[in-house]
Amino acid sequence: MLTVLLVDDDAEFTDVACTIIEFLGHQVLTASTLAE
């Protein structure tokens, strides 16, 4: 299992991408800005 950091300001894209990445068996950490 990998841990993925996804930084994107588009909440809808982030939700879809997280769903796909988690379905593939990986852990996802998210942030909407680089400051986070």
pLDDT score recorded for residue 33: 95
**pLDDT tens across the length of the chain (36 residues):** 999 999 999 999 999 999 999 999 999 999 999 999
Q: What angle do CA 23, 28, 9 make, to 5 degrees?
A: 110
Residue 35 placed within a domain: no
pLDDT for 10:
97
**CA count, 13 A, side-chain hemisphere, 36:** 10
Q: How many domains does the chain have?
A: 1
Q: Which structural domain, as residue segments, surrounds residue 23?
A: 1-30
Q: Is residue 13 part of a domain?
A: yes
SS3 state of residue 17 = helix
- Global pTM reads 0.83
**What pLDDT is attached to residue 17?**
98
